[in-house]
Amino acid sequence: MVSLYVPPVQSAVEGSRQATLKNFATTLNYLREQYQQAPTVVYADLNARCRSCDEQKCTPQDAEVMRLVTSYQLQLVYDDTPSSYTWSNCLHRSYLDFFLVRGATHENFAVTEKIGSSDHRAIELTITGAQPQILRRTT
């Protein structure tokens, strides 16, 4: 399981968004090479408002994130109903948080209430199937 935060374009310190995406790609490469049989689950605040590069509302920055997700064969798990937004302010509601899954069976995805002082609603996903294992490389 991996956690990922991609800074929003408008507030990102120059280069921090690119560095985050580069580090995420490095982590995914490592997981793919070292733990080939292990499922991958990523909890991600992508700060991307599209679900694929083909969407009309997809900015070049959002498309870059989506290309990275698809290049690692990660499935975006989310609820597309309007009431299932994960972030809001006085003017906007956005869906910014996702689970990215590869090789894991899942069910019961839900968007729930905020936890603590977070400005995002929580997302939950039940992973089913095989028992979770901690895989460690010993060499």
Ranges of the chain with pLDDT below 50 = none
Which tens digit of pLDDT belongs to each residue from 68-101? 888 888 898 988 888 888 888 888 888 788 889 9
> How many C-beta atoms lie closer than 10 Å to residue 24's C-beta?
22
DSSP string, 23-84: HHHHHHHHHHHH-TTS-EEEEEE-----SSTTSTT--HHHHHHHHHHHHTTPEEE---SGGG
Domains of the chain, with CATH numbers? 2-128 (3.60.10.10)
pLDDT value for 105? 87
pLDDT value for 11? 66
pLDDT value for 14? 64
**CB-based contacts of 115: which residues, under 8 Å, 6+ apart?**
122
